[in-house]
Chains A and B, each alone.
Chain A
Amino acid sequence: MTAASTAGAKRVPTYCYQCVAGPDLFTVRVQDGVALAVDPDFCASAIHPGAGRICVKAYGLIQKTYNPHRILTPMKRTNPRKGRDQDPGFVPISWDEAFDIIAEKLNAIRAAGLLDDSGYPKVAASFGGGGTPQFYMGTFPAFLAAWGPIDMGFGSGQGVKCYHSEHLYGELWHRAFTVSPDTPSCRYVISLGSNTDASGGVAGVKRHADARARGLRRVQIEPHLSVTGACSAEWVPIRPKTDAAFLYALIHVLLHEQPRTRLDLAFLAERTASPYLVGAHGYYLRDPATRKPLIWDRQRNSAVSYDASGAAPALEGRFSAAAVEIGPDGERLAEGELVGETGFAKLVAHVAPYTPEWAATVCDVPAATIRRIANEFLAQASIGETVEIDGQTLPFRPVAITLGKTVNNGWGGYECCWARTVAVALVGALEVPGGTLGTTVRLNRPMSDRIGSVKPGGDGFMDYPFNPTDPAHWSPRPNIRNAYRTLVPIAANGPWSQALGPTHLAWMFLDGTPDGLPKVTFPELWFLYRTNPAISFWDTAALVDKMARFPFVVAFAYTHDESNHMADILLPECTDLEGLQLIRIGGTKYVEQFWEQEGFALRQPAVEPRGTARDFTDIATELARRTGLIEGYNAAINRGAAGVPLKTERYDFSLAPTIPHRRDEIWDAVCRAASAEVTEGAATDGLDWYKTHGFRTRPFPHSDWYLYPALERHGLRFELPYQERLYRIGQELGRRLHERGMTWWDNQLSEYQALPAWKNFPALWEKAVVQMGSKPEDFPFWLVTARSMQYAWGGNVGIQLIHEVAANIAGHGGVIINAGVAARLDIADGDLVEIRTPRRSTRGRAVLRQGIRPDTLLMIGQFDHWATPFARDLDVPSMNALVPLSLDLTDATGSGADLVRVGLKRLSGPS
């Protein structure tokens, strides 16, 4: 889009990144300084995978700008008592006073030391999920970098209510922070609860609609008929939390009911660890001299290192070889002539019991259906086909398996992610055209280059930045309160790791730190931005109680809400149509954002800020100035904290280090650096150019959607199916914890299995009912949730337009109940019902539907607001009020699931 104006009217190009499925580009129609409308940016249709369109959320931005409930001046709390029942007594103050108060706190903290007696940062910060707040917070990351240690591990849902197992194990196995089908060419998708048509954003919706028109068959397996189920070829209602059993049976069919020759044997032999020999103790047999894992070479009829040239690896069998078996902490478990079995053979034996008939009893899905879907999956895999992309001939395997939230987090998440990845590897459909792909990386580096993050590690696999578990380097003293580095090796230790650790533990441990960890403390100052944990986390009543005890809270506030109700200072920042920031676009990003371009896009003020709202960059600069950090702040920006390094060998637009710079000066330098990067130095256009043109891109190779070529180039293998490394890490972690007397993480340690077995996952939630002193039969329903495209991530629950249009989608106004069950319970559509656990209860209007299992209830989205203007009058229930924060329901990655057993009863008739 090129900005244009005529007689008081103009169109302003900008971007929307309200959800992780962005960014999308659009224009704002402005008349006489008033934003009137948003429109697709059809100038971007050639480069944007969503054809330059924006989803429903962006249409709420006009109301968001002019919402009369906005906070338009800094405010301070006058009531020292905090709590849901306390009026904060917010009164307007000047920016100067607000900065004085905050700087005084920060400077006092700095003078006394940045860490408290427990070693935790005294300053904490929580941002909304998926990293989307970063696309609105200007240079605030530079301030955080200049400050030093900050605890960003108090979750508001991110980290543990997300696609958590997929994030972590996905990055380990195929650099897949999130996983997507190669939708434009995929032919068959098995979707276990992946609600793509609600959560995949504009790109996801368009790509799948195009694919359906082309003939893609998607089988949607989930307890309720979601938006995505509605748009699928088939809906298979499955009992909640039994998805792993379905996938195990699918693998059983592939391995026990079909000839081996129908699998992609070449892929398994050359690109996976299937041929690696596993010894009696469960670890790889290794060459005694080089310690490299051994395979059996059918050519030489002997064991050779996995990387021996010209080897013809045996996929199955038991073989004897001179070897050493190395266990945890480098222990030699065996040495000499040892017998080993291939990882593939162990997999075959492992899944033998998991027949479709067995799975049918677990999943409540007919065995014939499971078998049919498995065989359709195999038939569609097109093993042997190839396709040419960017001059490279690549395997073409057009099948994918995707997993939704609650399927891939909490207990069972590891098993589902493992089984999904193994299943697609068996047919060679991992990271090849048509198949199952990762999208982006957040734990591996560099984050902006997924393909570049492929680096050789040990044993022929990609390197992975596990937190250490060896005696010399494992630490019982966490750097932040959620203890991710101590408890979750696979969470790594990068910028995103704090938020991808067990973020609910930070909350839980405030009222009782388990043995062995330093006492978990309240941070002395907590920044909040684009997040509302009092609504978006579990057990919201308990969370509010804890938040009320945070001593000093600074909230960047759009309107009053349930979390900033506990704040001491409210700061109004420029919102979406008022602020300015340049971001990277293109390449491959979350969910379904696969571009054939990459570059930068500008968010710019379409209208003047309302009230005294300030641009986030100016706020960050002033905080840096008042805390004496301006030099470190500028240095962070120069290093790239605003998205682009300002100085490289090719160019130098760096800011003078010792003086504060105004917003446009900073972003002009960033824009110039971005122009130079995109054009390889040919252009150095600054802010004015981007204000006019909106975005600048260059081609991104289609072949970089796929990891397979990079693995081939490096001679690497996918670390599948056998999980020797995870098994070892689990053993070592257990030793370290037990050496310190820490046994409260033992359940989680049981997840570290080289070949994960099915466990009765649903029973864990039934057991939780018993532990609360109640009988499971009194809580006979599963309560689940589903993504609302209209609301998710947008922070837009107070926007009337969004509420009005979302009401057209069933369930937004209450709790969805199977109509047959409701009839038996004498519940009519619109009746007020109570949904309860042994500890909590909520109420809402019954929404009767056929598309839900009789044993399942559904509450869409996250509501139950009591402070947010407009939203507090909606009277819509949320499952978050009912789900307990529970260590028992926390898996080894530190995540839980949006799932709880509930009872149901009618309270009264329609209102």
Chain B
Amino acid sequence: MTRWVMVVDLDRCVGCQTCTAACKQANATPPDVQWRRVLDMETGAYPDVRRTFVPVGCMHCDDPPCMSVCPSTATRKRADGIVTIDYDLCIGCGYCIVACPYQARYRTDRANFAYGGSNPNEAEAKCFDERRLGVATKCTFCVDRIDAGIEQGLTPGVDPEATPACVNSCIAGALHFGDIERAESKVSVLLAKNHHCRMHEELGTGPRIYYLQD
């Protein structure tokens, strides 16, 4: 059984937002919608302060709160663990947006582009997907790339064409993707060798983004 997970090495992340930008480009998200972003967090008080950069997005939880509140069954979970939204079923009620403890979901009601509101440039016009208006959206783990890559015999997390755009883009090598059920996968090896944690683990959602930290 395949189970896709993301592993984030916090000791490598420099908060550059390259993954944020790559995600926005790959998924053509409108302004201020960031399926992937990197938080800039401080802990402690001067002069004993730590500053940490934490990439966040949909955690593709084992028990996703967004799915259980969805009245239209638009939010589902695939066998490989990826949480999906069926835009044809979604009624845009926003329950899932409220329910998500990771603030990973968005809803955009009107077409909105980088410059001039409703006027797309040539690139935006080609990438615009009207089905995303008035519905919940979020990180998909670039599921289309994964599925298309697997069809071509590629391995997500190894072959760039089958790997989420944010992972491909990461200049620090902080983001990793792969099948946690395969012991030899990079993510399994990293998790086996390093101390790791998950965000809001106490909520019991079973998030599928793991954070490595020394």
Interface positions of A (Cβ within 8 A of B): 31-32, 34-40, 42, 50-51, 53-56, 59-60, 62-63, 65-69, 197-198, 202, 205-206, 209-210, 212-213, 225, 227-231, 235, 237, 789-790, 800-802, 804-806, 808-810, 818-820, 849-854, 870
Please determine whether B25 and A37 come into contact, CB atoms closer than 8 angstroms. yes
Please determine whether A205 and B115 come into contact, CB atoms closer than 8 angstroms. no
**Residues of chain B lying within 8 A (CB to CB) of residue A209:** 11-12, 14, 172-174
Name B42's contact: one of A34, A40, A42, A851 (CB within 8 Å).
Answer: A851
Bound: A852/B42 CA distance, A: 11
Q: Do A237 and B47 contact each other (CB < 8 Å), given the known contacts A31-B126, A53-B171, A209-B173?
A: yes
Bound: A756/B58 CA distance, A: 56
Residues facing A in B39-73 (CB within 8 A) are: 39-40, 42, 44-47, 49-53
- Beta-carbon contacts of B1-32 to A below 8 Å, as 1s and 0s? 00000000101111111101110111000011
Bound: A802/B14 CA distance, A: 16
Please determine whether B18 and A67 come into contact, CB atoms closer than 8 angstroms. no
Question: How would you classify the secondary structure of chain B's contact residues: helix, strand, loop or mixed?
Answer: mixed
Segment of B86-94, B100-108, B116-124, B133-141 engaged in the interface with chain A: B116-124
A805-B20, A808-B40 are known; give 4 further A-B pairs, CB within 8 A. Answer: A53-B18, A59-B18, A65-B123, A809-B15
Bound: A3/B180 CA distance, A: 35
A507 CB to closest chain B CB (Å) equals: 34
Q: Do A230 and B121 contact each other (CB < 8 Å), given the known contacts A63-B114, A809-B15?
A: no
Please determine whether A808 and B38 come into contact, CB atoms closer than 8 angstroms. yes
Bound: A851/B43 CA distance, A: 9
B208 within 8 A of A: no
Please determine whether B116 and A206 come into contact, CB atoms closer than 8 angstroms. no
Nearest A residue to B10 by beta-carbon distance? Answer: A231
Most chain A beta carbons < 10 A, residue from B14, B26, B49, B168: B14
Please determine whether B123 and A34 come into contact, CB atoms closer than 8 angstroms. yes
Please determine whether A212 and B17 come into contact, CB atoms closer than 8 angstroms. no
Please determine whether B53 and A230 come into contact, CB atoms closer than 8 angstroms. yes
Please determine whether B160 and A42 come into contact, CB atoms closer than 8 angstroms. yes
Please determine whether B12 and A808 come into contact, CB atoms closer than 8 angstroms. no
Instruction: Give me the 4 closest cross-chain CB pairs, A-B, nearest first.
Output: A230-B51, A66-B121, A59-B21, A800-B114
Bound: A213/B193 CA distance, A: 13
Bound: A231/B51 CA distance, A: 8
Please determine whether A230 and B15 come into contact, CB atoms closer than 8 angstroms. yes
**Residues of chain B lying within 8 A (CB to CB) of residue A66:** 121-124
B127 within 8 A of A: yes
Please determine whether B42 and A850 come into contact, CB atoms closer than 8 angstroms. yes
A842 CB to closest chain B CB (Å) equals: 23
Please determine whether A36 and B42 come into contact, CB atoms closer than 8 angstroms. no
Please determine whether A801 and B172 come into contact, CB atoms closer than 8 angstroms. no
**Residues of chain B lying within 8 A (CB to CB) of residue A50:** 171
Cβ contacts A to B, 12 pairs, < 8 Å: A50-B171, A59-B21, A67-B115, A197-B14, A197-B16, A205-B171, A227-B14, A230-B51, A235-B47, A237-B47, A790-B16, A805-B37
A814 CB to closest chain B CB (Å) equals: 14
**Residues of chain B lying within 8 A (CB to CB) of residue A809:** 15, 17, 40
Bound: A197/B127 CA distance, A: 32
Please determine whether B168 and A39 come into contact, CB atoms closer than 8 angstroms. yes
**Residues of chain A lying within 8 A (CB to CB) of residue B17:** 56, 790, 805-806, 808-809
Bound: A67/B114 CA distance, A: 9
Q: Do A205 and B31 contact each other (CB < 8 Å), given the known contacts A68-B121, A850-B45?
A: no
Name A55's contact: one of B12, B16, B50 (CB within 8 Å).
Answer: B16
